[in-house]
Amino acid sequence: MGKRNAGEGSFFFDKERKIWVYQLRYMDTNGKRGRKKFAAKTKKEAKDKGQAFLQQIKQGLDADFAKITVREWTDIWLNSYARPHIRPRTFEKYQSSLLSYIIPKFGAMKLEDLSSLKLQEHFNSLLVNGRQDGKGLSASTVRATRRYFSMCLDDAIKAKLLIENPVQSTKAAKLTKKEIVVLTKEEVTMLVNEAKNIKSPFMSKTLFVLIGLTVRTGMRQGEVFGLKWQDIDFNESSIFIRRSLAHIIGQGAVFQEPKTKSGRRRIILLNEDIELLKEYRKWQQEYAEDLGDKFDSNDLVFTTPFGMPISPTNFTRRYFRPLLEKCGINKDFTFHGLRHTHATLLLKQGVNPKIVQERLGHSSIKVTMDTYSHVLPDIQRQALCAIEKIFES
């Protein structure tokens, strides 16, 4: 019998495992020859596996595609495809999500064995009992996990390790829009004033200025914590947002540039905020002189008592959450709610949504209006009042 050509195979029966094995010679797209075995209960199933493999090779897949596991590819993707092109905080989200919700279930599985059905069943189960305490994950978390893994598999296709992305045929978890929690003007005043009663003199002064400035500018938490004195123009009564402060696991405090062009923006301040910041800067300088070398703020406006960047987690646990409790404010309210409060109060006062968008640094007016759709009825009523006044005259 002559030597078999590439694409031809032979059978033998494995008596120990009681299965048929189909041995196949092949040549990949680079002209490299190889040999592979396919096992199954019947001859037909074994040969079908071999022929499916050949078909995938013809379509341009790397011959090693069948060897790589989900864990191996995910690790390659995170470090070689994702990390170099995204912000550290974004990378942390990708990594945490995939390692927590994909790898435990599919890590040991070969990429080629992934299926839409298996993935759909898994995404559904995450909604029911995906958390460590046995409760279900939120729809937004499952949707994010699905999106990150889909990106991972899209690049596997480009790397010729997959023909199609099985995630694309799954359904995303239905997202229920979470109601935005905002403060009333009275609650804002109460919260700012209560900050004066914090036991730590340094943090009392800091929170009084920090919370007041946040609710009157709509800055994001990372933007407030990353604000430097050089960003404040006292002559023009404005702040320029140039960076954001994020705390990354294993790296600590990391300064990042705004995600979008619109995020890099100028915010006009009230005169009272300018005067408050002048007073606060003078007080901080005197405090730093008294502490000497123990205090180094790195020009940050808001710091810990020793001049270090503020950790969002510690800030919330030690100061912000207790402050809310003292004021009897809704437990679902978060620091980001100060930003929502700023936007909501402006829109209710009839401020042009375009101006609100610019102050918030949203990429488009659509983002602003979609986020604050709860204010639309008030805007509609204002429009009706305006129409009435026009035609009354």
User: Cα–Cα distance between 263 and 101 in angstroms, integer?
Assistant: 31
Closest CA to 220 of 112, 342, 374: 342
The vertex-87 CA angle with 251 and 318, nearest 5°, equals 50
Residue 97 forms part of a structural domain: yes
pTM score: 0.74
Assess if residue 34 is contained within a domain: yes
Same-domain pairing of 127 and 106: yes
What is the tens place of the pLDDT at every residue in 35-55?
A: 777 778 888 888 887 787 777
Specify the pLDDT at position 387. Answer: 76
Q: What is the CATH number of the domain that holds 103?
A: 1.10.150.130
- Residues 160, 94, single domain; the answer is yes
pLDDT tens, 269-304? 999 999 999 999 999 999 999 988 888 878 999 999
Say whether both 161 and 275 belong to one domain. no
Whole-number CA gyration radius for the chain: 29
Handedness of CA 357, 362, 364, 367 (dihedral sign): negative
Domain for residue 376, yes or no?
no
Environment class of residue 109 by beta-carbon count within 10 Å: exposed (0-12), middle (13-18) or buried (19+)?
Answer: middle
At 163-221, the pLDDT tens digits run 789 999 999 999 887 788 999 999 999 999 999 998 889 999 999 999 999 999 999 99
Identify the pLDDT of residue 331.
76
Task: Tell me what pLDDT residue 60 has.
Answer: 63
3-state secondary structure of 392: helix
Distance in angstroms (rounded) separating the CA atoms of residues 162 and 315: 45
Beta strands 232-233 and 238-240, pairing class: antiparallel
Is 284 within a domain?
A: yes
Backbone φ, ψ for residue 377 (5° rounding): -60, -40
**253 and 117 within one domain:** no
> Looking at 139, 169, 199, which one is the last position of a domain?
169
Among 60, 80, 101, the domain-final residue is 60
How far, in Å, CA of 138 to CA of 180, rounded? 16
The parent domain of residue 270 ranges over: 186-333
The set of residues, in sequence order, having a beta carbon less than 8 Å from that of 98 and lying 6+ positions away, is: 74, 78, 145, 148, 149, 152
Q: Is residue 191 part of a domain?
A: yes
Task: Please check whether residues 251 and 301 belong to one and the same domain.
Answer: yes
Could you tell me if 203 and 315 lie in one domain? yes
Domain of 271: which CATH number?
1.10.443.10
* 195 plus 327 within the same structural domain: yes
Asked whether the beta carbons of 130 and 114 are under 8 A apart, the reply is: no
Domain membership of residue 181 (yes or no) is no
Judgement on whether residues 28 and 55 belong to the same structural domain of the protein? yes
Q: Verify that 152 and 235 share a domain, yes or no.
A: no
Is the domain of 24 the same as that of 87?
Answer: no
359 belongs to a structural domain: no
pLDDT score of 154:
96
Specify the DSSP class assigned to residue 69: B
Chosen domain end from 284, 305, 333: 333
Which positions of the chain have pLDDT values less than 70?
1-8, 28-30, 59-66, 393
Domain identity same for 146 and 243: no
206 plus 90 within the same structural domain: no
Q: Report the number of distinct structural domains present in the chain.
A: 3
Is residue 137, in this structure, part of any structural domain at all? yes
